[in-house]
Amino acid sequence: MIEVELPDGRLIEFPDGTAPDVMQRVTAEAAQQRTAPVGAGQAAMFGAMDPVHGGAQALVSNLPSGVVDVVNRATAAVNEMPVIGPITRGLGMTPRTPEQLNAEVVSRERNFAAGREAAGVKPDDFDWARFGGAMVPSLAATLATRNPTTMAQALRQGAVIGGGFGAAQPVTDEGRAAENRRLENTVIGGGIGALGGAAGRTLGGLIAPAERPNQTALRAAGVDMTPGMMVGGMAQRMEDKATSIPFLGDAINNARIASNESFVRSVARKVLEPLGRNVDDAPIAQRGIVNAVEGTISKAYDDALARVKPTSPDQEFTTGINKISEQFLTPDSIDVFQRLMRDRVMSRFRGEPLTGRAFKDIDSELGTMVRNFQSSANLPDREVGRAFAQVQSELRQLVARANPDVAPDIRAADAAHARFIRMAEASRSLNAPDGMFTPSQFNNAVRNESYGRQYAGGRALMQDLSDPAKAVLPSTMPNSGSADRALIAALLGGAGGVVDPIAVGAQAALSGAYTPAARELLARVLLSSRPELVRQTGRAISQSGAGVAVPLGQMMVTPPGPELFQ
């Protein structure tokens, strides 16, 4: 076969032995014919097929010649089949040597360039149609993979996809230059893919942030968080390390102090939730908020108990108490239970109706015994604790039956008091100045005041707040250290203690992210709920960053070989 190249880059093939005058005449006629312009649809299809042609070129060029021969023989056999053959030949699946494939790629690129020029497109103009077509296979590859949930996954996914499509990009160089160009395309494609994956993950995360149950729970409870706390993971670890940087460290630590204060106030709101009250205006210093919560609960009790009318045990109460020994106790613990019932409970009745205050005293005594016995490692003691819990329930039901209009208020005060016990214990912890306890200290109080199985199963009272706080907020109280950090900052940057204005400016800019307004804005962006359509859009963008960046980078950074434009 004889090939003749026209001035516009087109190739004409003539059978071996064709007369020179015939080739000259046909070539002259073809040169006078105007190259058909390539439209946008054709350009898009051209771009979509780039990985097919480039991948075949790379595969054949790197396979051993014996393997190529076997593949070509198999392809020739398939092409001769009655039904499949016309299809495979129509798709261009015909036997080719590496040299033939390289020549076809060069001819393909030249003919496409000539057709785009005929369509009025300048060689230096960006071909958006080809880019759109090239995105089809790359996007399909990214969407077929798992949606990256971390930045590391996005970088890795983008690098793999970008490197693969870079290696499959058509190459018009020859010999060693072609190998170098293919390697260059692979490396650059991997880098661009990684950047695209990271960009898609970032943008998609802003549109539809990953679900952060702990942060969402704290946000709903009114806890203020720093940017690192909201994002978590690597961002929070970097924020931890940044606390040693002057100026910026001050901003971070001050924001953390504000976060811990908001957490203490959220605990106070959670404690008073059954009463429908709050002490948001109470100061935290001097245990002000702890005392305010306790006073609010005490007043609620006083208001309710003042309305309780004297109550005597009824038949239902007596029957319930008598059944407790049979249902809950072993012989080893019956004596303990009966003695304590006689000395600490029944003796308080004194044969007279039970007043509201007397009821409260008995209820408090029962609550103490329940906690003490239930926390014992001894099985009989725990049985006694369960028995007194039932006694406490029977007593409350007695008062509720006799005072149906007061019972809801008493139950609400009881619920608030049970929560306050945990807050009070946390405020008494070591290193909890002025009652400013940390999430870790509060979590310990929740665990200590709860039954083991309840805490282990995440069902302990107030654990729905203590667990997220412990997971997200720092376990220690920071110290802003403004004075010594300012001194260090004055010595930064240059010889002779000259302050580096760039370093100071960068710290000031980063510090702005820790202002209350910036933290609130970031919380709205990261922790606010999104409609499902928005969430799906964000996930699609997060997953497709590399699919868009790879063909864009290939067309802008790694064009075909330079001989096409000579």
pLDDT of residue 90: 67
Asked if residue 182 belongs to a domain, the reply is no
Q: Is 11 helix (H, G, I), strand (E, B) or coil?
A: strand
Summarised one tens digit per residue, pLDDT across range 521-552 is 888 878 877 777 777 787 788 878 888 887 87
Do the beta carbons of residue 274 and residue 517 sit within 8 Å? Answer: no
Q: Is 529 helix (H, G, I), strand (E, B) or coil?
A: coil
Among 472, 492, 507, the domain boundary falls at 472
Q: Is the dihedral angle over the CA atoms 421, 422, 427, 430 positive or is it negative? A: positive
Summarised one tens digit per residue, pLDDT across range 322-379 is 888 777 677 778 888 888 888 888 887 777 788 888 888 888 888 888 878 877 878 8
Asked if residue 344 belongs to a domain, the reply is yes
Among 430, 453, 472, the domain boundary falls at 472
Q: Indicate whether this model's pTM tops 0.85.
A: no
Task: State the residue range of the domain holding 11.
Answer: 1-33
Asked if residue 492 belongs to a domain, the reply is no
Which range scores top for mean pLDDT: 18-22, 243-247, 268-272, 497-501? 268-272
Higher pLDDT residue, 515 or 348?
515
Higher pLDDT residue, 241 or 566?
241
Summarised one tens digit per residue, pLDDT across range 32-47 is 555 677 888 888 888 8
Asked if residue 271 belongs to a domain, the reply is no
Please count the other Cβ atoms lying within 10 Å of the Cβ belonging to residue 184.
Answer: 15
Among 472, 501, 527, the domain boundary falls at 472
Tokens of 46: 């051209």
Tokens of 460: 């302990």
d(CA 297, CA 294): 5
Asked if residue 16 belongs to a domain, the reply is yes
What is the mean pLDDT of the segment spanning 427-440? 82
Summarised one tens digit per residue, pLDDT across range 66-75 is 776 777 777 7
The tally of domains found in the chain comes to 2
Report CA 51 to chain centroid distance, whole Å.
Answer: 33
Summarised one tens digit per residue, pLDDT across range 168-182 is 888 887 778 878 888
Residue type, 117: E
Asked if residue 52 belongs to a domain, the reply is no
Asked if residue 350 belongs to a domain, the reply is yes
Based on the number of CB atoms within 10 Å of its own CB, is 493 exposed (0-12), middle (13-18) or buried (19 or more)?
Answer: middle
Residue 231 pLDDT > 60: yes
Asked if residue 319 belongs to a domain, the reply is yes
Based on the number of CB atoms within 10 Å of its own CB, is 279 exposed (0-12), middle (13-18) or buried (19 or more)?
Answer: buried
Angle, helices 248-272 vs 463-472, to 10°: value is: 170
pLDDT of residue 563: 47
